[in-house]
Every structure is written in C-alpha cells, then in structure tokens.
Chains A and B, each alone.
Chain A
C-alpha cells in the first residue's frame, strides 16, 4: 500500500477539512492533494532520482513527503543543523537527488554539485507544472532517514511504502479524531516522529499544526490559539514547557494528550509534569527509525495507575515505555540469542509488518524469523511492560563487569542537587574503563562529589559507585535529546575534574 493512498482516503472522507496549518499557510485535504500532484510534476520534470530536503519542515514536510510518493521517488529529509560538509556527505549517498532547501539554509548547502531548488521556488513552480501521479510498488522505498550517528557514521534507513502504511493502519483508526481535534507538531522533519506525525494525523482526521522553531512560550501560545488537543515533544522540550508553565502558569484548556519520546525522560520530570497538568493524559512513545516510529506506548491510564499505586512493581512502570502496539512482538534475548524470561535484562528484539531494519549499502539486518535487533538493552516485566535500560553500545565494562549507565543515572538524577546527569566509561589502564558521572548541578546548588558518590553507594552495589564525578553546565545532546556520550568522554581531560579515585 502506498502512502499516497492515505492522502487519497483523507480526501475521499472529507475534502474540505483543514489538514495542515503552518504559520499563515492552511491547506485542506483536497488542497494538499492537488499540491502534491502538481509538485510531483515538478519532481518529474527535474529528472531526479530522489528528493532531499534541508529545512525546518512545517507545511513543506507533508507536501514533499506526498509529492515524492506521487512521483515514485524516495524522500530524504536531512538534519538542517548539520554543517555544509556533513550535509554534502549525506546528499552524495542519495540517488541523483533534487535538493529542496529552505532559504535560511541555502548558504550552508551552497554549491554541492546536486540539483538544488529553494522551497519557495519549488512551490511557485508547482503552480504551473503538469501534475503527475505514479503508483509506486508497495515495496519501493518511500522515505530514507539517516540515523543520528551518536556512536558511528550515520546509516541510511530505508522505509518502504508498505512499512509506513502498516504502521499507520495498525496503530491509527481511520477518521477516529473528533472534527475539532488538532495536533501540535514540533518534532524535527528529519526525525521518524516527524514523518509519523505527518501520516498518522492525516489518517486520523486530525488537523496538523506545525511549529517550525520551538520555544516553550510559542508552543503554549499555539496550544491556545489553535485549540490544540494533542501534542508530541522530545524530553528537552517537555522540560522547557514545564519550567515555563511553573514560572508563568497558563491554563491549557484544550490539551487532552501530551506524548513524549525520542530519548529517555528522567522520572523527576515526568512527576513534575503530571503534578502540573493533572487534566492532561501523558503518553510515552518508544520507537526507532528502523521500526517506522512507535512500537510501544505507555498510555495515560498507565501513567495515572503507576503514579497512584502503592505497589512497587506498578509504581516502577512510570519509568517504562509501556506495552507493544498492535502488530508488534517484543522479546528480550541474551548474548547467545536465547529468549529470556520476564525480569531478565538483555537485548530487545522486535518483529512486525512495520519493522524495516534495512539500510542502504548494508541490506537487511533482520534474522531469518524477521526479528530486528534494536541494540537497546531492556527488560520486560510480568505484564509485558517494557523498560529501556540503555544502548548496548553505551555499556561500561569495568574490570570485566558490565555496567549500564542508566542504572547509575536513574539514582543520581533523583538527588536534589542534580539537574541532569550522564554516566560514561573513561579509558583506564587498570580497570579497562572507569565510571565517570558527568553532573549538571541544580540551579544554585554546588554538590559535593564525595556526597554524590556516597548517595549512589547507599542504593546500588559498590561496583556501581562512580570513580569520578565531573561537573558541567550542560550535557551535549542531539536535537531530540540523545546525549552525545562520545563527546563527554572526549571532553573529560579538559573539564573541571574533581578527583575521587
């Protein structure tokens, strides 16, 4: 099934419904459909083999996503925050791309040897181009997304039409949104959540309101002016929204659901958000680029039950990513590939129609039974709730013992003097690696390193006590909040190292 058909269905159900709002632009489903056909004509005329996009998204994202599909070409939204050199390297890996660029980024992209066109010119040309509609094979690639490359060179993940439409049709009921529903989208266009949002809100019949440049105050303003009912944010955004609302309380009367995901959210922040917005249903969504977005969801009801429970096993679920969505199976395996029982940590494997696991130049990494190794360390509890412990690449091996940074981070982040923390392994001649906790102190606090080490020692085994505590003003992260651990390790000799060996 082609992603084009999702748009066709939306038009068939209600051509006059407003589907996309971005600044002053508003498109109905029929207008988006006509523009996608015309823009497909522009792509066809260019003779390009694929469509790349460097820009902040907004209405350009659904427009390019559907017009590339209508023209039968793969679409690759790129990270506009990258340097010109890094962007050129990604563009060179795409088949004869037509590069559509927002004008803010035309200087960065510069002369890259590929055919480039600025977004405004592209849209203007669509007014006169002869529309074209092709029906790509369902197994053709619809979207190429580059992984963020926190541990290695970015990989090009291939998502076919079938994978993306399987995700949408399995997890979203067509036309299930109320006519007044509106989703506020501020996730980046080059992130799988941005692609997922463009498809699933259209399919649900929910108006998609775009915020291209995130700020907490603008987000809050838009919730109220556009009567937003659902929104998705990454953890950094959630922290800023909660802080802004704490400083300047503003009622968000229309907001029913607030989803967060993209990287790990610290529990103290989840509790702050729940206390601050008791009327809002919180959703924790877990997924990977390779799995065509969400594979597990912690629902609003799960949040409320866990927060109110006196039972430890249920309370803990506030820190889980919930249960697998329909059509997805999840198992935990040990290093030899044996499936582990509930409660045993190991690597998470997922399987389902929406799971791609295919990379350009590498091929499929699915095993013979279709299982995708996520490289995430995880635990499933008795009732199928999934807990993500961390990336297996981040595991610290100290004196032969495997240590998951998250175990120590989860303890330290609860300390009142700690605002944020990442635990990394630093090379050490004696132990192989030692445990270094990089701590961002809470505002006005100057925690004592020895006190923090003791705090960990009281709650975890002795081998988990950080060998060193270093302080930083902030942690380096990707735009979606993933901590760049390699940078932390590289920075170690140059930061204020308060010895604690």
Chain B
C-alpha cells in the first residue's frame, strides 16, 4: 500500500498530488487515464491524455473515494483523478472564518 505523505505525478498532464490518507484503492490511482507515478520517477513516454478523463484536477482541492483514500492536488492539471475508471470526488469543506 502506498504511504501517506507520498508525492505522485501524472504521466500525461501537469497534475501532482500528495497522499493525505492512504488506502489499498490508491494502488490504481490514475490521472488523465494513466497511472500516477512517484514524483521523482521519469514518466513513460508515449502515453497520452485520455479525452474521457480530461475533466481536470483542481489546485489545492482534496479528492476522496469510498474506500477512505484522500489526496491533495499540489499542482493543477488537465486530467481527471480516478481509481481505475471511477473518478474521485472533491471533498467539500465547510468554510471556517480566518482565525490566525
């Protein structure tokens, strides 16, 4: 299972994420339809953004799945985040007033 705190990048767009809460499901985490890889890996050439997964990953948003996994987008990109072919959903936060 991938470690919490791991940083991953897309092979087909600019998206980068950090794992906030890990779960087995993240073993099949994808961006733009292609598996995400560790930040310091070299992306395999040839893969292209799948138009069916081009909804975009929004900067600074937390994405979750039903298995309890949570990732934070640390760099925005054009690809959709998904586990296999199931897109992750944005975790909506109740806004708090600024306190410090």
| A259-B59 in contact (CB<8A) | no
The interface stretch among B29-37, B49-57, B89-97 is B89-97
| B97-A175 in contact (CB<8A) | no
| Smallest Cβ-Cβ distance to B74: which chain A residue | A9
Bitwise, B58-71 to A at CB < 8 A (1) or not (0) is 01111000000000
Task: Say which residue of B18, B60, B76 sits within 8 Å of A173 (CB atoms).
Answer: B60
| B62-A169 in contact (CB<8A) | yes
Contacts of B12 in A (CB 8 A): none
Contacts of A476 in B (CB 8 A): none
| B97-A174 in contact (CB<8A) | no
| B100-A285 in contact (CB<8A) | yes
Main secondary structure of the interface of A (DSSP, over half): mixed
| A172-B96 in contact (CB<8A) | yes
A325 at the interface (CB under 8 A from B): yes
| Smallest Cβ-Cβ distance to A294: which chain B residue | B99
How many Å from the CB of B69 to the closest CB on chain A? Answer: 15
- A interface residues, tally (CB under 8 Å): 40
Interface of B toward A, CB cutoff 8 Å: 5, 7, 18, 20, 59-62, 72, 74-76, 93-100
How many Å from the CB of B3 to the closest CB on chain A? Answer: 9
Q: With A1-B18, A173-B95, A174-B61 known to touch, is A196 a contact of B75 (CB < 8 Å)?
A: no
CA distance A325 to B95 in the complex (A): 10
Task: Say which residue of B7, B75, B76, B98 sits within 8 Å of A204 (CB atoms).
Answer: B98
| B59-A12 in contact (CB<8A) | yes
CA distance A283 to B61 in the complex (A): 25
CA distance A248 to B33 in the complex (A): 62
A-B contact pairs, 18 of them (CB 8 A): A5-B18, A5-B74, A9-B75, A173-B95, A174-B59, A174-B61, A176-B95, A183-B98, A196-B100, A201-B98, A203-B60, A204-B98, A232-B98, A257-B97, A257-B98, A285-B100, A293-B99, A300-B97
A200 at the interface (CB under 8 A from B): yes
The 7 residue pairs across chains A and B that have the minimum distance between CB atoms:
A174-B60, A285-B99, A196-B100, A230-B98, A138-B5, A197-B100, A283-B97
Contacts of B94 in A (CB 8 A): 326
Contacts of B99 in A (CB 8 A): 171, 232, 259, 261, 283, 285, 293-294, 297
CA distance A162 to B4 in the complex (A): 10
| B74-A12 in contact (CB<8A) | yes
A8 at the interface (CB under 8 A from B): yes
A34 at the interface (CB under 8 A from B): no
| A281-B97 in contact (CB<8A) | yes
A331 at the interface (CB under 8 A from B): no
| B100-A259 in contact (CB<8A) | yes
CA distance A213 to B18 in the complex (A): 38
CA distance A327 to B20 in the complex (A): 13
How many Å from the CB of A326 to the closest CB on chain B? Answer: 7
Contacts of B97 in A (CB 8 A): 230, 257, 259, 281, 283, 297, 299-300
| B96-A8 in contact (CB<8A) | no
| A325-B59 in contact (CB<8A) | no
A36 at the interface (CB under 8 A from B): no
| Smallest Cβ-Cβ distance to A174: which chain B residue | B60
CA distance A325 to B7 in the complex (A): 26
Contacts of A232 in B (CB 8 A): 98-100
